[in-house]
A and B are shown apart, each in its own frame.
Chain A
Amino acid sequence: MSETILEPAVHQESEAGTTRRMTLNMGPQHPSTHGVLRVVLELDGEFIEKATPEIGYLHTGIEKQCEALNWQQVITLTDRVDYLANLSNNLCYSLAVEKLLGLEIPPKAQWMRVMLAELTRINSHLVWLGTHALDMGAMTMFFLTFREREDLLRLFEMFSGQRLMTSYIRIGGLALDPPRGWEKLVHAFLADFPSKLDEYETLLNNNPIWLRRTKGIGMIPVEQMLDVGITGPLIRAAGIPLDARKMTPYSSYEKFDFMVPTSTDNDVFARYTVRMAEMRESLKIVQQAMDGMPEGPTRADAHRVVLPEREKMKTQMEALIYHFKIVTEGIAVPEGEVFQVVESPRGELGYYVVSDGTAKPLRVHMRTPSFANLQGLPRLIEKRQIADAIAVMGSLDFVLGDCDR
């Protein structure tokens, strides 16, 4: 279908004294803000003159809480930072602490981590696609994407016992051995999902409303994006292949063959195409991880850090002692500091972890992608219409828990 795309409306300055500005509170309970975000809009008619995001409604003091818990207990808090990409957060924190400890992680655990991180990316992008399309009036997408997401959540539940707060990636490896029959479920998902992606694209790519509301909207020069700290699919849709998986590979990502999808259009539609391509790349990575999954243990051989197996605990005195020590005293992490970066579905996720040699972190700072991306929101929506702001906010794909911590 060929549809002429109209130039999106841009605000023209009116003569002085002829306009009356209005201030409008968007949120904190607005459905399109996907959480408790408040944006104070100064309006001139339908046009946004000035936008001021107010965050902090979901600030729960996670960084403070990290300083009060043992190293291994912090894992449960990292789940709650970005509640749509729990495993990416688990992974980032674990990698940081493992670097400080100097732990060697067995290949099987590394590959499982990669596989789960990529499934998390698909899961997160599915939620983004469903809610983004829902904001634009395409309600069917929401039902379709959540149908597929359910498969993934069932898979996460099978692995960790939890659908959302997985805490499955732990310091030293994985929390549990992979459950019996997990390959079958992942294979079924891999076989099924590409056709589902095609289905989404047939629904959206020729949809005139979708095209009009996304093409040419939310552009911002690349230099400004870098300056303000925007990362992830947004900056890749502007042509910069900034991806921590390629630039500073972690957890054996260098052994996987995948592309970093980019686009140069830099609008809301480009961000949609980039994320759709990313889901296909993630499928490729999951397939490679399945094909070449190494054999062996899923936890590092470090008795002072990793909890012993249950069977050993019941039969060996030493294992019981180590278990007792780890649980009661925690693990001592050598002095030092690490800034570990992983590519979360939303962009650059970094954990800055400082240890003073005790059983509790001195400081855990989370460099979360949503926080930095949201900071760029005013530049993306000012001088645009309110309806465009909805589209832009959807394309930012922020999670307020990730932003406020």
Chain B
Amino acid sequence: MLSEAMLENETIAGLVAAHPAAVLAGHTQFAEITLTIEPAEIVATLAYLKYHQGFDRLSTVTAVDRYPLDPRFEMVYHLQAVGRNLRLRLRASVAAEIASATIVYSGADWYEREVFDLFGVVFTGHPNMKRIMMPDDWEGHPLRRDFPTHGFKYSYGEQQ
């Protein structure tokens, strides 16, 4: 649960008051605040932060593969409140699926496609869920930890 010191931060206190089930944990490292969010609450959390706390920019969305932990993927959202000059990191552990943030921040579109392409996490409610970096007929998701970096065989001769 959240420590006393973290609840003194008005953004976090406001979030906990508005969505009590959303925040699972939080910590501060190198002056960067990280909140662990319940995956089912991620869209509600982002919407609250955008419309009530002034976090008007979604800087980036990415994932970290914690293989062999279960659930293996950690979704990471970096937000910025330009007017208040604040940054915030949200984390949510998911197995393979999470709701899309595109209805709150349209800039999440390409980032989520990238995570889908390279990690295989599916975003429900995304308007255009298809590969962005790799070719459409590519098999596998390259940024997964169990995807080989080297020695990948690719035959030009035998095309089916």
CA A341 – CA B31 in complex, angstroms?
Answer: 13
Given contacts A339-B32, A367-B78, is CB(A55)–CB(B142) below 8 Å?
Answer: no
User: Is A284's beta carbon under 8 Å from chain B?
Assistant: no
Among B58, B82, B85, B133, contact of A55 (Cβ-Cβ < 8 Å): B133
Closest to A60 in B: B133
Q: Which residues of B, 60-92, contact A by the 8 Å Cβ criterion?
A: 60, 62, 64-65, 76, 78, 82, 85, 87, 89
Q: Which residues of B, 29-50, contact A by the 8 Å Cβ criterion?
A: 29-30, 32, 34
Per-position binary interface string of chain A over residues 33-53, scored 1 when its CB falls under 8 Å from any chain B CB and 0 otherwise:
000000000000000000000
Report B37 CB to chain A, min CB distance, Å.
16
CB of B133 within 8 A of CB of A372, answer no
Report B83 CB to chain A, min CB distance, Å.
9
CB of A352 within 8 A of CB of B60, answer yes
CA A404 – CA B113 in complex, angstroms?
Answer: 13
Per-position binary interface string of chain A over residues 318-358, scored 1 when its CB falls under 8 Å from any chain B CB and 0 otherwise:
00000000000000000011110100000010101010000
CA A219 – CA B116 in complex, angstroms?
Answer: 31
Stretch in contact with the other chain, from A22-30, A208-216, A222-230: A222-230
Residues of B within 8 A of A362 (CB): 64
CB of B82 within 8 A of CB of A242, answer yes
CA A336 – CA B27 in complex, angstroms?
Answer: 11
CB of B106 within 8 A of CB of A227, answer yes
User: Is B150's beta carbon under 8 Å from chain A?
Assistant: yes
Closest to B83 in A: A240
Stretch in contact with the other chain, from A9-17, A61-69, A383-391: A61-69
User: Is A93's beta carbon under 8 Å from chain B?
Assistant: no
Q: Which of A56, A99, A354, A404 is most buried by chain B, counting CB atoms within 10 A of its CB? A: A56
CB of B30 within 8 A of CB of A338, answer yes
Given contacts A56-B132, A68-B149, is CB(A348)–CB(B59) below 8 Å?
Answer: yes
User: Is A375's beta carbon under 8 Å from chain B?
Assistant: yes
* Contact size range, A: 35 or more
Report B70 CB to chain A, min CB distance, Å.
17
User: Is B2's beta carbon under 8 Å from chain A?
Assistant: no
Q: Which residues of A, 368-389, contact B by the 8 Å Cβ criterion?
A: 371-372, 375
Among A56, A336, A348, contact of B133 (Cβ-Cβ < 8 Å): A56
CA A99 – CA B29 in complex, angstroms?
Answer: 10
User: Is A1's beta carbon under 8 Å from chain B?
Assistant: no
Residues of A within 8 A of B85 (CB): 247-248
CB of B60 within 8 A of CB of A68, answer no
Among B107, B133, B143, B149, contact of A229 (Cβ-Cβ < 8 Å): B107
Given contacts A65-B149, A68-B150, A352-B78, is CB(A365)–CB(B105) below 8 Å?
Answer: no
CA A362 – CA B63 in complex, angstroms?
Answer: 11
CB of A229 within 8 A of CB of B57, answer yes
CB of B29 within 8 A of CB of A229, answer no
Residues of B within 8 A of A65 (CB): 149
CB of A64 within 8 A of CB of B32, answer no
CA A339 – CA B62 in complex, angstroms?
Answer: 12
Closest to B104 in A: A227
CB of A367 within 8 A of CB of B60, answer yes
Q: Which of B57, B118, B135 is most buried by chain A, counting CB atoms within 10 A of its CB? A: B57
CB of B29 within 8 A of CB of A337, answer yes
CA A404 – CA B149 in complex, angstroms?
Answer: 18
CB of B133 within 8 A of CB of A352, answer no
Given contacts A63-B143, A352-B76, A375-B107, is CB(A226)–CB(B57) below 8 Å?
Answer: yes
Report B157 CB to chain A, min CB distance, Å.
23
Report B148 CB to chain A, min CB distance, Å.
10
Report B139 CB to chain A, min CB distance, Å.
15
Closest to A404 in B: B133
CB of A99 within 8 A of CB of B30, answer yes
Can you list 11 A-B pairs, Cβ within 8 angstroms, ordered by A?
Answer: A56-B131, A56-B132, A63-B118, A67-B149, A226-B57, A240-B82, A337-B34, A339-B89, A352-B60, A352-B76, A362-B64
* Chain A residues at the B interface, C-beta cutoff of 8 Å: 55-56, 59, 61, 63-65, 67-68, 99-100, 223, 226-229, 240, 242, 247-248, 336-339, 341, 348, 350, 352, 354, 362-363, 365, 367, 371-372, 375, 404
5 additional contacts (CB under 8 A) given A59-B134, A64-B143, A226-B57: A56-B133, A226-B56, A228-B106, A338-B30, A350-B60
